[in-house]
Amino acid sequence: MFACSIFLDARSTGTVLPRRLAAFQKLLEGRDGRIELLLVDDTGDPRLPGLASRFGARLLPCEDAPLGDRLNAAVAHSQGAVLVFLAPVLPLPADWIDVVAEGSEHHRWDVLVLTARPRSLATRLWQWLCRTPPADTLCVARKWFDRIGGFDPSLDAKALPELLERLHACQARIQYR
């Protein structure tokens, strides 16, 4: 079993996809091979199989469906104990992969939200009141993902924030970094 499954959605990532894949290839070099990178594709773009192959990602073609449904299908084909749903465009902290690996091994959190910059409680409260979906990377322990039934398959842009809300309601240990 892989320690970590990292998901990239081709539709959400858009034109920055080749740069993101190249960055992940460099990041994963020198690792023990316990991290899988999965590229979820509902676009049918004929360039994606070659792109995924070149950067060591596994391509998971799926039907044109909302994001929640696409990611649920991708999780069903993954093997990681920790599921990482990447923010489409925001940069990640430099040490994020080490934080994910260390926290999951020592069971310090059930859900880890990686923000591009630290957010205060007031900022998070304001986003919650305005119902703006956070564009953060979400790392979820597979057991919690399975426990709450995964994503709502009918949701698209709000799939990740809604999953986070349900995890919070179920009293999962959520850590922001």
pLDDT digits (tens, 9 = 90+) for 3-32: 889 999 998 888 888 988 888 887 777 666
Contact partners, residue 19, CB within 8 Å, separation at least 6:
none
* CA distance linking residue 151 with residue 73, whole number of Å: 10
Ranges 1-5, 31-35, 112-116, 136-140: which has the least confidence: 31-35
The structural domains of the chain, with segments of one domain joined by +, span 4-176
pTM: 0.85
Written out in words, the top-level CATH class of the domain with range 4-176 is alpha beta
pLDDT band at 128 (very low <50, low <70, confident <90, very high): low
Percentage with pLDDT > 70 across the chain = 82
